[in-house]
Amino acid sequence: MKKTILLFCAMFLVLANVNAFACVGRTLVIGSLNTPNDKLLTQLMAVIIIERTGTSVEVEYFDSQDELYEAIKKKEVNVLSENTGRALQLLGMEPVGDADSIYLAVKQAYREQLGLVMLEPFGSPTGSAGDTPFMDVPIVGDGVLTNFPVLPRVLNKLAGITQKKNYTKLLASVESGNKANQVAKDFLKMKRLI
């Protein structure tokens, strides 16, 4: 009897440990504004999550920031791509300091006021001239991290992605009508991220 209980406890610990690192069997919904850059960043997130975790992912596009954040509030969207410039407007804050300072201020405000967690930035928006003070960033709901504990580690592999050499060409490809999902997949394969 003692051996059976010990075996059961050992199996439970092993299974609990496996589940702590897996996301399989659940569905994530990624929300995005309906712009070429946001579509591309969203598809990069979707593809890398699917390929690296086996998690089911749905992508929904929104025509306005209000609609997107309403869906987040209702927990209909779990993950999103946002720009720190738009985030400042949403929070009613003025930009102060450089890009890193703004990112840290917005990150803190999003956590405290909206219960949203900003991960490592994708980088400055493509096409921005000079030292833009804004960044594109992935954001996840606070509660999402409980069910998807590997999510930050997976999405942080995309840190700095908009600064990569070919990103401007990728965006131009999406703007010219190519499917963002396929463009994202090809790029991630080329960079050996999937």
In terms of Cα–Cα distance, which of 116, 122, 119, 128 is closest to 184?
122
In the chain, pLDDT over 90 holds for what percent of residues?
70
Least confident of 64-68, 83-87, 125-129: 125-129
How high is the pLDDT of residue 142?
Answer: 80
**Is 169 a domain residue?**
yes
Whether pLDDT at 5 is above 70: no
What pLDDT, on a 0 to 100 scale, did the predictor assign at position 17?
39
Cα-Cα-Cα-Cα dihedral sign, residues 62, 154, 51, 178: positive
> Which residues, including other chains, have CB under 8 Å from residue 39's CB and lie 6 or more apart?
32, 61, 174, 180
Q: Confirm whether 57 is domain-assigned.
A: yes
Is the pLDDT score of 26 beyond 90? Answer: no
| Per-residue confidence (pLDDT) for residue 39, from 0 to 100 | 96
- Give the CATH number of the domain where residue 55 resides: 3.40.190.10
Look at residue 76 and tell me if it is in a domain.
Answer: yes
The confidence score (pLDDT) of residue 91 equals: 96
Mean pLDDT of the chain: 86
Let me know the angle formed at the C-alpha of 98 by 96 and 104, rounded to the nearest 5 degrees: 75
> Taking Cα atoms as reference points, which of 127, 105, 123 lies closest to residue 164?
123
Residue 88: pLDDT above 80? Answer: yes
Mean predicted confidence (pLDDT) in 187-193: 92
**What's the pLDDT band for 174 if we cut at 50, 70, 90?**
very high
- Taking the C-alpha atoms of residue 176 and residue 98, their distance in angstroms, rounded to an integer, is 33
- pLDDT above 70 covers what percent of the chain? 84
Task: Inform me whether the pLDDT recorded for 46 exceeds 80.
Answer: yes
Provide the phi-psi class of 123: left if phi over 0, else alpha when psi is between -120 and 50, else beta. left
Examine residue 86 and state whether it is found in any structural domain, yes or no: yes
**Measured on CA atoms in the order 160, 165, 171, 177, is the torsion positive or negative?**
negative
Question: Quick one: pLDDT at residue 157?
Answer: 96
**145 domain-assigned:** yes
Residue 46 lies in a domain: yes
The pLDDT assigned to 6 comes to 41
For tokens 């306005």, name the residue. Answer: 64
- pLDDT category of residue 1 using cuts at 50, 70 and 90: low
CA 160 vs CA 84, 134, 184: distances in Å: 15, 13, 15
What confidence score (pLDDT) does residue 127 get? 54
Question: Residue 3: inside a domain, yes or no?
Answer: no
pLDDT at residue number 19:
37
Instruction: State how beta strands 136-141 and 79-83 pair.
Output: antiparallel
* Total count of domains within the chain: 1
- The answer to the question of residue 6 being in a domain is no
Which range of residues forms the domain containing residue 157?
28-190
> pLDDT digit string (tens) for 65-82?
999 999 999 999 999 999
Per-residue pLDDT at 51: 95
Beta strands in the chain (DSSP E): 27-33, 56-62, 79-83, 116-118, 136-141
